[in-house]
Amino acid sequence: MTRDMKRREFLALAGPGLLVIFPVPAPAAFLQRRGGPPSDVNAYLKINPDGRVTCLVGKVELGQGSKTALAQLLAEELDVALDAVDMVMGDTDQCPWDGGTYGSLSVRSFGPVLRGAAAEARAVLLQMAAEKLGEPAERLSVKASVVSGSRGKVSYAQLVGGRRIERRMEKAPVKPVSAYTIVGQSPRRKDALEKVTGKAQFAGDISLPGMLHARILRPPAHGATLREVDTSAAEKFPGARVVKEGDFIAVLHERRDLADQTLGLIKAQFDRPRPSTDDRSIFDHLVKAAPPARIVHESGSLEEGRKLAATLVEQTYLNSYVAHAPMEPHSATASIEGGKVTVWAGTQTPFPVQQQVAQALGVAPENVRIITPYVGGGFGGKSASQQAIEAARLAKATGRPVQVMWDRAEEFFFDTFRPAAVVRISSGLTAEKKIAFWDFMVYCAGDREARQFYDIPHQRTAAAGGWSGNQPPGLHPFAVGPWRAPSVNTNTFAREVHIDMLAEKAGADPLEFRLNHLSDSRMRRVLEAAAKRFGWKPRRAPTGRGMGVACAIYLGTYVATMAEVAVDKATGRVQVKRVVCAQDQGVTVNPEGSRQQIEGGIIMGLGYTLTEEVRFKDGEVLHRNFDTYELPRFSWTPTIEAVLIDNPTTPASGCGEPPIVNMGAVVANAIYDAIGVRLFQLPMTPERVLAALKGARPA
Amino acid sequence: MQQTISFTLNGKPVKLAVDGDRMLLWVLRNDLGLTGTKFGCGEGLCGACTVVVDREAVRSCAIPVKDVAGKQVLTIEGLGQERLHPLQEAFINHNAFQCGFCTPGMIMNAYALLLKTPRPTREEIIRHMDDNLCRCGSYPRIVQAIQQVAGAMKGGAR
C-alpha cells in the first residue's frame, strides 16, 4: 500500500469534519504506526465546520483526568475555548498510535507532542487569516477560535470553510508559561456530567443486538491442567451455548447471571500443579531464583566507604504481591461484522491489544478496531487485557457479539500483581555522623528510581529481576506487571526507612539528617515545604507522637510526605491521622486534578502499607473477593493536605504515580516514632505490629 | 421460577416476566438496559451496585428481583431526571470521583443517607458510606460533597 493510499484512507475515515493543513510529504499512516508519535498534526486534531475541535489521542481516561488535562493543552496552544474541544481517546481507527496509558506519561511525554501539534495548527490558521484579512500575522490575535485584526475578524471554522487545505508549516513555537490562560486552571472535568448521571459507559456497559454474556471455565490454580470436563448439563440449560476450543471452555447466555448459573453446571477436574511457594516462603525463593544482578549505579568505592564507617546499619526489607483491584473488573465487548472485528475494551493499551486480538484471530491488525470507553481504574493492571482477546475469540466462535466481564475471583486470579520483592541495604555512618557508604540490592521489584539521591561518597545500587511481565519462568507463581509507580513503592520503602535508622543512629532529627545529605535544591524545597505545612518540630525519634517523613523522586517529579499516625498497642491497628504531601512536578497543568491524584495516591497507598497482600499457595490465589483482600475505606482516610510547588521553569512531569511511593516508609517511620518499633515488611498488618511489639520477628 | 413481577422503577411502572430469584442488578442491566448500576464484586462487598428501594440503600447484586415486587426502585438514571440532583452537582463541584465506576453507587448510598438523616455529621457520613469502596481514593471529596448537600438541603432530599 502506498503512503498516498493510506493518507486517503485516513481522510475518508475522518468524515465530514475538515482536516486542516497537510504538510508535504504526505504523512505515513499514523493509525498503525509503531515506535513513536506521528509528526503530522492532522493525527491529533480536526477543526469541524461548526467550529468545534476534535482532539484525537491514543491515551485513555482511567480516572486520572487526562481527558481534561490534554484538552487543556490543546485548547491553550490552539487558542480555542476548552468547551469547544471534543476528546476522542483510545480508538485505534481514529486516534494516532500510542504505546499505552501508563508511567504518568500522558502529560509529561505526550503533552509536548500535542502542544506542538496544536501550536503548528494555530500558526497555519493564523497565516491563512493573515491572507484573508490582508494583514500580517504578527498583528493578529486569536481568542476562542476567532482571529482578530484591525480590518476584521475571521473564525477558524470560516477559514477552513468547506475546503480541505494542505499546507506545509515550519515548526511553530509553543506558548511561554506566562501566556497561559487555560493550562494551570482547574476547569470542570470533561467526564463529570456523564459520571454523576450514570451515562458514562464502560466496556461492560456496551450492549449490542443479539449479544451474549460469556463466562469462562477457569483452573483452580496457576499451573493446573484440565483433566476431564463434562459440559452436558450446561448444554441443556435453556438459552445457553457452550464453546469448547481445547482448554478454552466458555458458556454464553443472553443474561449474565444465567451465564453464571450455566458455568456452575460444568463438571471439570483439574490436575493441580506440584507444590511450590506460598506467601511466606516466597521471599527466600525470590532471592534464590532471581536472575543475575546488574549494577545500576556505582560511585566511589564501597571498600573505602566501609573503612570510613564507624557504625554499620544493615537491614532486609520485604513486600508482598499486591493486586490492582480496580473497581471495574476487566471487561470487553466484541463484535465481528463483515470481517471487521470491533472490541470495546477496558484497557490501558488499545494499540497493543489491537495487535494481540489480530494475532489471536488470525486477521490483519487493520481489520481490528479497539474502542476504549471510560476505563474504571487501571493502576497498571489494565495494561494486560486478556479479556479483550477472550471476547473476540468467543464472538468469532459464536458468530454473535459477546461480552466478557470478569468476576472478582477472575480479577484476583489473572491480575498482573505488583511483584513481591526483597531489598537488602548495607550502610555506615562516619564518626561525624555522615553516611559513609550505601550498598543497595533489590530483588524482583525493579531498578526504577533505585539509585540513591542523597549525597553519599561511596555507593552502589544493584538490581536482580524487575517488575515487567517478562520475568524468568518459575520466578513468580503467577503474572506480575506494572503497578502504580512500578519498583518505586518498594525501593522507596526500603531507602526511606533505612535513612530514618541512620538518622536515629546519628542522634539527629530525621528531616535535618536528610537535609544534611541533600544538595539537590528541588528535593530540599519539597521537604521544607512539607515541613512548613506539617509544622514539623525537630526531634530524635521515637518521641511517642507518631510522626514520620519520607521523600522520593519519581521520573522527574519530587515528592516529600509527612504523616501522623496513632497505633493501638493492644490490637496493633494503625490509624493514619494526617498526611501532608508536597510535590514539585514542574508546570502544573491542572492544579485540582493534581490534588485529586495526590489524595488518591495517598489513600491507595494506605492499602499496600497496612493491609494489602496477596495470599497464595501452590499457584492458587486464596482471595476471591474483597472480604479477604482489604482495600482502604472511608473510615481510614486521613486529613490530607497537598502542597503544589510553583515551578514554572521546569516542564510538566507526571503526577498520577509519585504521591503513592512514600506511603510505606512515611507510615513505617511514623509508627516507629509512635511506639519505638521498626517494621521492615509491608503491609504492616496488626499481626505484624503486635509481633514487632513483642520483639519477635513477625512471620 | 418464572413469574410476573411489578414494581416502580425511577417513577414509572414496570412489569416483568422473569425468574424471581434472579438478582436485581442483572435484571436492571441486562433486561432493562440500565447500565448505570455497576457490577463490582457480586457479593455485596463493594457497593458499586447500590440502588434505593423504598428509601433504603440496597445492594442490587444481592437482592432477588422478587423482593422488590410492589416497591419503589430508584437507580442513578432516575435521580435528577429533569435537572441534576444537588448530590450530583456537589459531586461535580468537589470532583468527588476519578474513574467514576463507583460513583453511581456512592451517590445512591448518599441519597439514602440524606433521606433518613438530612443533616448527618461527618462521622455519620463515614459510618454510612464505609462499605462503598473507591479504589481511586475519592473518599474525602465524597464526604465533602455530601456535607455540602446536607448543609444546603436544610431538611431533606427532594
Contact A328 B107 (CB under 8 A): no
- Kindly report the nearest CA distance between residue B85 and chain A, in angstroms: 9
Contact A634 B48 (CB under 8 A): no
CB distance A191 to B96 below 8 Å: no
Q: Is residue B58 part of a domain?
A: yes
Length of chain B equals 158
- How far apart, in whole angstroms, are the C-alpha atoms of residue A430 and residue A257? 66
Q: Is residue B56 part of a domain?
A: yes
Q: Which residues of chain A carry a pLDDT beneath 50?
A: 1-32, 162, 165, 699
Which chain A residues contact residue B41 at CB under 8 A?
408, 625-626
The fold of A203-272+330-405 is Aldehyde Oxidoreductase; domain 4 (3.30.365)
| Beta strands at B72-74 and B50-53: parallel, antiparallel or unpaired | antiparallel
- Give yes or no for B98 touching A (CB within 8 A): yes
- Give yes or no for A211 touching B (CB within 8 A): no
Contact A634 B76 (CB under 8 A): no
- How far apart, in whole angstroms, are the C-alpha atoms of residue B17 and residue A81? 50
Looking at the structure, tell me whether residues B10 and B71 fall in a common domain. Answer: yes
Residue of A327, A595, A603, A635 for testing the chain B interface, max B β-carbons within 10 Å: A327
Cβ under 8 Å to B: A residues 619-648: 625-627, 631-635, 637, 640
Q: Which of B77, B106, B126 is the last residue of a domain?
A: B77
What pLDDT was estimated at residue A136? 96
Number of domains composing chain B: 2
Looking at the structure, tell me whether residues B61 and B112 fall in a common domain. Answer: no
Contact A62 B137 (CB under 8 A): no
In which residue are the cell numbers 468547506 written? A162
- Give yes or no for B137 touching A (CB within 8 A): yes
Cβ contacts below 8 Å, chain A against chain B, sum to 170
Residue of A595, A624, A634 for testing the chain B interface, max B β-carbons within 10 Å: A634
CB distance A420 to A321 below 8 Å: yes
What pLDDT was estimated at residue A1? 32
What pLDDT was estimated at residue A654? 85
| The model scores a pTM over 0.80 | yes
Q: In the structure grid, which three cell numbers stand for residue A219, read together?
A: 483452573
pLDDT tens per residue, range A201-248? 999 999 999 999 999 999 999 999 999 999 999 999 999 999 999 999
- How far apart, in whole angstroms, are the C-alpha atoms of residue A323 and residue A341? 31
Q: Is residue B71 part of a domain?
A: yes
CB-nearest partner of B130 from A192, A198, A633: A633
- Give yes or no for A346 touching B (CB within 8 A): no
What pLDDT was estimated at residue A583? 97
> Number of C-alpha atoms within 13 angstroms, CB side, residue A282?
25
Q: What angle do CA A468, A469, A474 make, to 5 degrees?
A: 115
Looking at the structure, tell me whether residues B12 and B38 fall in a common domain. Answer: yes
Residue of B34, B93, B98, B144 for testing the chain A interface, max A β-carbons within 10 Å: B98
Looking at the structure, tell me whether residues B61 and B106 fall in a common domain. Answer: no
pLDDT tens per residue, range A493-552? 999 999 999 999 999 999 999 999 999 999 999 999 999 999 999 998 899 999 999 999
Nearest CA in chain A to B33: A207
- Sorted by where each begins, the domain ranges of chain A are 3-185, 203-272+330-405, 282-321+417-693
The domain that contains B45 carries what CATH number? 3.10.20.30
> Number of C-alpha atoms within 13 angstroms, CB side, residue A584?
23
CB distance B57 to B132 below 8 Å: no
pLDDT along chain B (158 residues), means of 10: 95 97 98 98 98 98 98 97 95 98 98 96 98 98 97 56
Q: Which of B32, B60, B77 is the last residue of a domain?
A: B77
What pLDDT was estimated at residue B152? 73
> What's domain A282-321+417-693's architecture?
2-Layer Sandwich (3.30)
Nearest CA in chain B to A64: B98
pLDDT tens per residue, range A574-611? 999 999 999 999 999 899 999 999 999 999 999 999 99
In which residue are the cell numbers 484440565 written? A226
Contact A256 B98 (CB under 8 A): no
3-state SS string over chain B? CEEEEEEEECCEEEEEEEECCCEHHHHHHHHCCCCCCCCCCCCCCCCCCEEEECCEEEEHHHCEHHHHCCCEEECHHHCCCCCCCHHHHHHHHCCCCCCCCCHHHHHHHHHHHHHHCCCCCHHHHHHHHCCCCCCCCCHHHHHHHHHHHHHHHCCCCC
Q: Where does residue A450 rank: exposed (0-12), middle (13-18), buried (19+ CB within 10 A)?
A: buried
- How far apart, in whole angstroms, are the C-alpha atoms of residue A218 and residue A630? 24
Looking at the structure, tell me whether residues B139 and B90 fall in a common domain. Answer: yes
pLDDT tens per residue, range A471-480? 999 999 999 9
What pLDDT was estimated at residue A268? 98
CB-nearest partner of A377 from B95, B104, B135: B135
- Give yes or no for B36 touching A (CB within 8 A): yes
B114 is in which domain, residue-wise?
A: 86-153
- How far apart, in whole angstroms, are the C-alpha atoms of residue A496 and residue A351? 38
The domain that contains B117 carries what CATH number? 1.10.150.120
- Kindly report the nearest CA distance between residue A694 and chain B, in angstroms: 32
Looking at the structure, tell me whether residues B97 and B136 fall in a common domain. Answer: yes
Which chain A residues contact residue B134 at CB under 8 A?
327
What pLDDT was estimated at residue A469? 84
CB-nearest partner of A255 from B30, B80, B100: B30
Which chain B residues contact residue A205 at CB under 8 A?
35
Looking at the structure, tell me whether residues B19 and B71 fall in a common domain. Answer: yes
Contact B138 A207 (CB under 8 A): no
Who contacts A361 (Cβ-Cβ below 8 Å, separation ≥6)?
A: A341, A368, A392, A393, A396
Q: Where does residue A5 rank: exposed (0-12), middle (13-18), buried (19+ CB within 10 A)?
A: exposed
Looking at the structure, tell me whether residues B69 and B95 fall in a common domain. Answer: no
β-bridge partners, A458: A437
- Give yes or no for B144 touching A (CB within 8 A): no
φ, ψ at A149 (rounded to 5°) = -140, -175
- How far apart, in whole angstroms, are the C-alpha atoms of residue A228 and residue A212? 26
- Give yes or no for B119 touching A (CB within 8 A): no
> Number of C-alpha atoms within 13 angstroms, CB side, residue A20?
31
- Kindly report the nearest CA distance between residue A605 and chain B, in angstroms: 9
Which chain B residues contact residue A592 at CB under 8 A?
95
Q: Is residue B126 part of a domain?
A: yes
CB-nearest partner of A257 from B22, B92, B143: B22
Looking at the structure, tell me whether residues B6 and B73 fall in a common domain. Answer: yes
Q: Is residue B54 part of a domain?
A: yes
- How far apart, in whole angstroms, are the C-alpha atoms of residue A166 and residue A168? 7
Q: Is residue B158 part of a domain?
A: no
> What's domain A3-185's architecture?
2-Layer Sandwich (3.30)
- Kindly report the nearest CA distance between residue A640 and chain B, in angstroms: 8
Nearest CA in chain A to B79: A197
Q: Is residue B127 part of a domain?
A: yes
